[in-house]
Amino acid sequence: MKKNTALPLLLLLSILLFPQSLHAQATGTENFVVSFNIPTASSIIISAVEVDATTGQFGNQVTALNFSPATLDSLLGVFFPDHFFAIDVATAGGAGQPTTTISYLDGNNPNAPFNGLGWKTSATFVRVSGPDNAQVEDFLTNHGPKKLLKDLNGETISGAEIFGGYLRIYVGIVTLDPNAIVLDPPEAEVFSVADTPGNYDGTLTISSTVS
């Protein structure tokens, strides 16, 4: 009896031609966590510079806001300083928008019991954005944008209000200039020859926290 060799040959050919059919297919899966950490700001820099009242040119950094000397306008009987100050509040060493609180406490007042420096000095709040050579300032209208120092008692500017920029506070002696971009508050008073001579002072406290 002749053996049928066709079936064994077909099996052998299938093994030679398709060996993978006899083995399970290899697979692999791996999960990779993709991340990037932005550090929170490591410090907050609060700095003040003197600004020329005529040219608007920023000058040297200062540690005290001294408006002397002032010039007497003999026609009006009012004293006008030749400068004001810009105080910048900005983060360094990381990201985050700080929340800033501003308060003022009147000090020596030769006019007592009448009004002192807090009634005769104002603060204007702006958000600064853009590069140094093309800065854009937006007034923070929810904060005046100009207030007398006497009215600063825990004035708080949130990080959301200065998002994309930083806080700048202009501090100046009241002039009651009717042509000013931002007018002085209704209760503002100028320094005039009717005031008592002497040294007027107070303390402006600025505290800022980023989280």
Residue 30 in any domain: the answer is no
Residue 24 in any domain: the answer is no
Asked if residues 162 and 97 have their Cβ atoms less than 8 Å apart, the reply is yes
Residue 13 in any domain: the answer is no
Asked if residues 98 and 92 have their Cβ atoms less than 8 Å apart, the reply is no
For residue 70, give the nearest of 209, 207, 197 by alpha carbon. Answer: 197
Asked if residues 128 and 136 have their Cβ atoms less than 8 Å apart, the reply is yes
Residue 81 in any domain: the answer is yes
CA-CA distance, 138 to 31, in Å (whole number)? 46
Model-level pTM?
A: 0.85
3-state helix, strand, coil in the chain (%, to 5): 15, 40, 45
Residue 40 in any domain: the answer is no
pLDDT in tens, 25-82: 899 999 999 999 999 999 999 999 999 999 999 999 999 999 999 999 999 999 999 9
pLDDT in tens, 112-162: 999 999 999 999 999 999 988 899 999 999 999 999 999 999 999 999 999
The model's confidence at residue 7, banded by pLDDT at 50, 70 and 90, is: low
Residue 120 in any domain: the answer is yes
Q: What is the dihedral of CA 103, 208, 49, 160, to 10 degrees?
A: -100
Number of domains in the chain: 1
Residue 7 in any domain: the answer is no
Residue 201 has pLDDT above 80, yes or no: yes
Asked if residues 189 and 174 have their Cβ atoms less than 8 Å apart, the reply is yes
CB atoms within 10 A of CB 205: 11
Residue 32 in any domain: the answer is no
Range of the domain at 158: 50-209
